[in-house]
Amino acid sequence: MEKQFDRKLILEDGTEYRGYGFGANISRVVEVVFNTSMVGYQEILSDPSYTDQAVVMTYPLIGNYGMADDDYETATPTIGGLIVREYNDLPSNFRADRTLGQVMEEYGIPGISGVDTRKLTRSIRDLGSRRGIIVPADVPLEEGLQRIQETPVPHDAVFRVTSKAIRKSKAADPRYRVVAVDCGMKENIVRSMNRRGIDVTVVPCDITAAEVLDMAPDGLFISNGPGDPTDVTPVIDLVRQLRGRVPIFGICLGHQIIALSYGARTYKLKFGHRGGNHPVRDLTTGKIEITSQNHSYAVELESLKGTPLTVTHLNVLDGTVEGLACAADKIFSVQYHPESAPGPQDSGHLFDRFLALMEENKHA
């Protein structure tokens, strides 16, 4: 007997995608986006930047290597949902502790398998990211559309996922101290700095400039995170007050926040950049890096005119701004994720650049 569809995705334009439920059996209004990575679904599931978003995985088989305790990017995943072509609930991996479905059920994350993900991805590519709702298959279309319409677009995602208290992550042989503003930071960023002899103090996104200066850090890091960067005014103000006083490095949302602190503007991309295969040109070397990305917003190139910021990186595919710097203020940022290092050349050299900037500042 053929298995019956028991769950579906309703998009705000009235289209429906039916499938089979896994993970948590709950309904949720989400923004539907896609990710082109061939591996790394655990890192995607546990990346706080996906808060309020359901991710369509373009790679067809998901779940086949389970979930390993050492590979989470955050202790409490907050992704809105997962939409896949084929879900494997019998993983083959000696490191796996649990299945993907078990973890999703524990953290209240709904999933749908059996969906035509190629059709759905093309729809997002052609028409843009849209809101939708994950519901049981018997929920009428009109009811789903009404629930989407009645659910306000959230503007507090960063404030929901930021650290609730200050925590420290020590390096084995510490050389520098960095205050990292947690806007939804991936744990591998902390590990990348620890490996380079940096003690990291992770702080909530509403930390004040005075509190940061009291910690006497050698550098300030602004993390990735979910949502619209213009919603995160406390961090924009923080960068504005501290630029030029302490070396600053920003990744992803942190890159956008740095641009906003100088008076530049950001805008929402049609369907964003999400995957491990985005080519970026380093304008200082002319080399191309294959980067890992996850963002809906970008810095408006024209708005940088009149600011002291210099564009250091550009996306090869669409020309969007991928890196900024201001030498006078000892500040730089990238839109992509160097800690993910998906290409043949490790882009972790950007953490080494941060180290060099702190060293230079220390002896200035």
- Which of 31, 252, 273, 326 is an active site residue? 252
Q: Which residue has the tokens 């210099």?
A: 310
Is 211 part of the annotated catalytic residue set? no
Respond yes or no: is residue 349 known to be catalytic. Answer: no
CB 117 within 8 A of CB 56: yes
**HEC string of 201-226?**
EEECCCCCHHHHHHCCCCEEEECCCC
- Separation between Cα atoms, residue 73 and residue 224, nearest integer Å: 12
| Cβ proximity of 274 and 35 under 8 Å | yes
Partners of 232 in the beta sheet?
none
313 catalytic per annotation: no
What does residue 327 show for φ and ψ, rounded to 5 degrees?
-60, -40
Give residue 175's identity as a one-letter amino acid code.
R
| Residue 5, Cβ density class (10 Å: 0-12 exposed, 13-18 middle, ≥19 buried) | middle
Distance CA 335, CA 302 (A): 17
Residue in this structure with the two tokens 């602190």, named with its chain if needed: 261
Catalytic residue numbers, as ranges:
252, 337, 339
